[in-house]
């Protein structure tokens, strides 16, 4: 700061160095070294001064030179005083002590507890968020100070114009010079306050420029840091994508998987050998000749459902040579039962297929959209986290400069308080002077009103006297006429009235002199009346001007009172903001970010829970349907077993009613078994097992067809149901 209390900036040093050169060219490098500014900033300021015709810039081979062309007065461009240097040293010492204590606390905290990188990043985020909010509040306060300074500048211009008008009015009023001096003194005080505010504005502009340069530097550093963070984020995203893909594969496997219990499977191999000859047409009728050889053999092998068989065991087990067996008509009942059972199994398999499709639909309609939305949300959150980290790094860089800026703000706050106190004192003095002037003006106005009233009374009395004198003049004129008549009559009687003539002439002369005196007095009275009228006119003008002065003084007083109230409100608001600055730097955006993550997690947890419940319901229904399928398969096996048993018991019975009907029933039975095998393979997810050399059943070539039917059921349930079926069959046989 300068001796007069103004704030000194680098721009002031630049102008002072140019003026001290005495109009000689000075290089940009020399100006940069003396002022501490960068050469680019020096060139920018020189271009501004050149536009205002204060500096002449010269471009030479040796560099850029500037010469001052304006006024060479450097009275206000002095260096800092000892008090300012001492205050700066004290501020720097306190700032160094704070930094040292903060470092000691940080080292102590590190020695006590080693925090993880994630915790350190979170802590840095919170600290930088607090510092960012503090910096924003300081910036807002500086913006408000700039607004107040602009308002004060406008009001200063208005006050200057008002002062000029007041001086013009006071020149016409010699009696109000003392009041004008008081008003000018108040205006000078206001001008001084405006100068202080202008200096504060210059300081704020310098701070803003310094902040701009620092922001550019921080931006470059933040870009470099962002590249490193981006690489780390890409690596993390790749790992998350791998985890998500593995999780998706696991979910798909769980959806498609069928959870078998600790049950046993019965692998039954059915072998059908038949030969079918082609149809022949003879004439109109058709004759069919069929030759069939049917061999049925069943073999049961218990295998664990959860253990897949190796390739070597997938083929049919070695069987003995089948014995020829004749199927009687009684077995047709079992074939019908078996066909009905197969239809039930097919219906149950279709129901299982529907449930499986519903489960796949849950995957496509719920899990996959949820996964896509979750991926998009994760990407957006990652972008937001990257942006937040950039902001946090920038705020962390700014935080190192906050103590000095806070000190500057405190100094500005103290200077504003001092200016407010000075303005309050000046306002009190001006108010007292204005009140005294108003009282004196009111007294003078009363005196002038009394003088005007007295003058009016005198004028009326003079008018009455002039009227009396005019009447006397008329009477004298009449007397003069009468005397002239008397003189004429007296001359006619000279002889008789010689003495009387002399007396009349003497009396006539006296009347003439009296008439002249009366005329002179009337003229003097008229002149006095006109002079009195002029004085009264001037007094009335002065009274009207005094009234205008009173109105103007009242308006100035009200305006000044409103300005002082505004300044007081601004000072109070600045105090409140300065007191609540530490409370306003909490990490609000971190809490908001965590709250959004919590809401997002809750919403996705709810949707995932609903989809999981639907999947569990479908799994439960599929388990029930599988259990029902196993029961139906077990019943089919029992019916088949009873069918074979019955066929063995009635080996010597009669042949079938007709070979066509028996072949038809056996063909249907084989087709139903093939369909059953396909349904079971769809349910279990395995391919149908066909021995080598087997031919599809659609080709009726007479070759051997081998089909395996799989099923599973708990042992106890199987045994109980088998016993019940055997009892029912035995009762039917007895009947």
CATH code (residue 522): 1.10.287.1490
Least confident window among 226-230, 264-268, 319-323, 449-453 = 264-268
Q: What is the CATH number of the domain that holds 50?
A: 1.10.10.10
Highest mean pLDDT range out of 152-156, 235-239, 259-263, 320-324?
235-239
Whether residue 38 is predicted with pLDDT greater than 70 in this model: the reply is yes
* 437, 552: one domain: yes
* 132 in any annotated domain: no
Domain residues for 13? 1-80
Tell me what pLDDT residue 517 has.
76
Which tokens go with 309? 């068989």
- Please check whether residues 720 and 618 belong to one and the same domain: yes
Residue 345: name the closest of 19, 28, 639 by CA. Answer: 639
3-state class (DSSP) for residue 75 = coil
* Domain-located, residue 563: no
The answer on pLDDT for 439 being more than 70 is yes
- What is each CA distance from 104 to 90, 210, 395, 431, 554, in whole angstroms? 21, 30, 22, 56, 62
Would 225 be classed as within a structural domain?
A: no
Q: Is the pLDDT of residue 278 over 60?
A: no
CA dist 51 and 55 (Å) reads 8
Select, from the ranges 103-112, 247-256, 350-359, the one with the highest average predicted confidence (pLDDT): 350-359
In the prediction, which pLDDT does 314 show?
41
Question: Quick one: tokens of 140?
Answer: 């807002």
d(CA 708, CA 684): 13
* pLDDT, mean of residues 646-664: 48
Whether the predicted pLDDT of 7 surpasses 60:
no
Q: Which of 30, 52, 80 is the last residue of a domain?
A: 80
Percentage above 70 pLDDT, the chain:
42
Question: Please, is 640 exposed, middle or buried when counting C-beta atoms within 10 Å of its C-beta (0-12, 13-18, 19+)?
Answer: buried
Domain shared by 441 and 549, yes or no: yes
| Domain stop point among 532, 557, 582 | 557
Residues 442 and 349 in one domain: no
At 531, the pLDDT band (50, 70, 90 cuts) reads: confident
CB 17 within 8 A of CB 26: yes
pLDDT tens-digit series, residues 459-484? 777 777 777 777 777 777 777 777 67
Most confident of 68-77, 99-108, 318-327, 607-616: 607-616
Tell me whether residue 395 is in a domain: no
Asked whether residue 467 falls in the same domain as residue 546, the answer is yes
513 and 635 share one domain: no
- Compute the distance between CA of residue 257 and CA of residue 712 in angstroms, rounded to an integer: 16
Maximum mean pLDDT: which of 18-22, 92-96, 185-189, 592-596: 18-22
Could you tell me if 622 and 710 lie in one domain? yes
**Domains: count for the chain:** 3
Backbone angles phi, psi at 68, to 5 degrees: -80, 130
Q: What is the pTM of this model?
A: 0.22
For the ranges 50-64, 143-157, 429-443, 608-622, the lowest mean pLDDT is seen at 143-157
| Residues 548 and 638 both lie in one domain | no
Residue at 223 is within a domain: no
SS (H, E, C) 382-417: HHHHHHHHHHHHHHHHHHCCHHHHHHHHHHHHHHHH
Question: How is the chain split among helix, strand and coil, in percent rounded to 5?
Answer: 75, 5, 20
Evaluate whether residue 715 is within a structural domain.
Answer: yes
pLDDT digits (tens, 9 = 90+) for 504-521: 667 667 777 777 777 777
624 shares a domain with 530: no
Q: What is the pLDDT of residues 10-33, one digit of tens each?
A: 778 888 888 888 778 888 888 888
Do residue 630 and residue 515 come from a single domain?
no
Question: Does 689 map to a domain?
Answer: yes
Tokens 């965590």 belong to 594
Residues 442 and 509 grouped into a single domain? yes
Report pLDDT digits (tens) over 350-391: 777 788 787 777 777 766 777 777 777 767 776 776 776 676
697 in any annotated domain: yes
Tokens at 278, concatenated: 């082609």
- d(Cα 452, Cα 533) in Å, to the nearest integer? 10
Q: Could you tell me if 547 and 624 lie in one domain?
A: no
283 within 8 A of 734, measured Cβ to Cβ:
no
Specify the pairing of strand 55-60 against strand 302-304: unpaired
Domain stop point among 38, 56, 80: 80
pLDDT bucket at 546, cuts 50 / 70 / 90: low
């Amino acid at each position: 700061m300068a001796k007069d209390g103004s704030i000194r900036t680098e721009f002031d040093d630049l102008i002072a160095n140019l003026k001290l050169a005495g109009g000689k060219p000075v290089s940009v490098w020399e100006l940069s070294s003396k002022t501490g500014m960068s050469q680019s900033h020096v060139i920018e300021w020189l271009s501004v001064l050149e536009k205002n015709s204060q500096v002449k810039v010269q471009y030479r081979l040796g560099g850029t030179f500037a010469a001052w062309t304006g006024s060479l007065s450097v009275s206000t461009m002095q260096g800092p005083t000892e008090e300012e240097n001492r205050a700066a040293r004290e501020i720097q010492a306190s700032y160094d002590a704070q930094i040292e204590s903060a470092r000691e606390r940080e080292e102590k905290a590190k020695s006590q507890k080693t925090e993880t990188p994630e915790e350190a990043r979170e802590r840095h985020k919170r600290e930088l968020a607090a510092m960012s909010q503090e910096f924003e509040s300081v910036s807002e306060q500086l913006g408000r100070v700039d607004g107040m300074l602009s308002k004060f500048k406008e009001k200063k211009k208005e006050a200057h114009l008002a002062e000029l008008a007041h001086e013009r009015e006071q020149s016409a009023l010699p009696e109000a010079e003392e009041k004008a001096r008081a008003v000018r003194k108040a205006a000078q005080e206001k001008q001084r306050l405006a100068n202080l505010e202008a200096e504060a504005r210059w300081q704020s502009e310098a701070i803003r420029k310094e902040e701009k340069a620092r922001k550019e530097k921080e931006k470059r550093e933040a870009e470099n840091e962002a590249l490193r963070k981006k690489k780390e984020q890409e690596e993390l995203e790749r790992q998350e994508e791998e985890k998500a893909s593995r999780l998706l594969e696991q979910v798909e496997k769980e959806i498609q998987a069928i959870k078998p219990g600790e049950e046993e499977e019965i692998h039954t191999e059915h072998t059908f050998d038949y030969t079918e000859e082609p149809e022949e047409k003879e004439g109109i009728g058709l004759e069919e000749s069929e030759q069939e050889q049917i061999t049925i053999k069943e073999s049961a092998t218990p295998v664990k459902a959860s253990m897949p068989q190796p390739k070597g065991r997938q083929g049919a087990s070695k069987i003995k040579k089948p014995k020829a067996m004749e199927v009687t008509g009684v077995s047709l009942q079992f074939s019908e039962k078996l066909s009905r059972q197969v239809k039930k199994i097919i219906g149950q398999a279709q129901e299982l297929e529907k449930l499986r499709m519903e489960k796949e639909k849950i995957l496509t309609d719920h899990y996959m959209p949820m996964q896509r939305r979750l991926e998009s949300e994760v990407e957006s959150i990652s972008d937001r986290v990257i942006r937040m980290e950039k902001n946090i790094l920038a705020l962390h860089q700014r935080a190192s400069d906050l103590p000095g800026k806070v000190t500057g703000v405190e100094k500005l706050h103290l200077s504003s308080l001092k200016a407010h106190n000075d303005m309050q004192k000046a306002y009190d003095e001006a108010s007292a002077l204005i009140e005294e002037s108003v009282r004196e003006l009111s007294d003078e106005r009363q005196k002038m009103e009394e003088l005007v009233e007295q003058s009016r009374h005198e004028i009326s009395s003079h008018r009455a006297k002039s009227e009396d004198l005019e009447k006397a003049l008329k009477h004298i004129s009449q007397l003069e006429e009468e005397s002239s008549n008397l003189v004429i009559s007296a001359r006619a009687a000279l002889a008789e009235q010689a003495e009387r003539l002399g007396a009349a002439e003497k009396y006539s002369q006296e009347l003439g002199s009296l008439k002249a005196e009366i005329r002179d007095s009337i003229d003097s009275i008229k002149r006095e009346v006109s002079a009195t009228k002029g004085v009264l006119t001037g007094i009335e003008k002065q009274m009207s001007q005094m009234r205008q002065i009173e109105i103007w003084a009242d308006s100035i007083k009200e305006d000044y009172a409103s300005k002082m109230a505004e300044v007081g409100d601004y000072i109070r608001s600045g105090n409140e903001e300065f007191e609540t600055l530490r409370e306003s730097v909490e990490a609000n955006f971190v809490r908001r970010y965590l709250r959004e993550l919590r809401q997002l997690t809750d919403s996705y947890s709810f949707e995932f829970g609903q989809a999981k419940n639907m999947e569990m319901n479908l799994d439960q229904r599929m388990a029930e349907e599988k259990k029902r399928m196993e029961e139906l398969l077990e019943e089919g096996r029992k019916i088949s077993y009873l069918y074979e048993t019955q066929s063995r018991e009635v080996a010597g019975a009669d042949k079938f009613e007709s070979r066509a009907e028996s072949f038809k029933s056996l063909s249907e039975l084989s087709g139903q078994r093939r369909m059953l095998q396909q349904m079971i393979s769809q349910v279990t997810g395995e391919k149908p097992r066909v021995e080598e050399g087997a031919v599809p059943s659609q080709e009726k070539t007479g070759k051997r067809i081998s089909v395996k039917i799989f099923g599973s059921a708990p042992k106890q349930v199987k045994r109980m149901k088998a016993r019940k079926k055997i009892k029912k069959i035995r009762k039917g046989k007895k009947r």
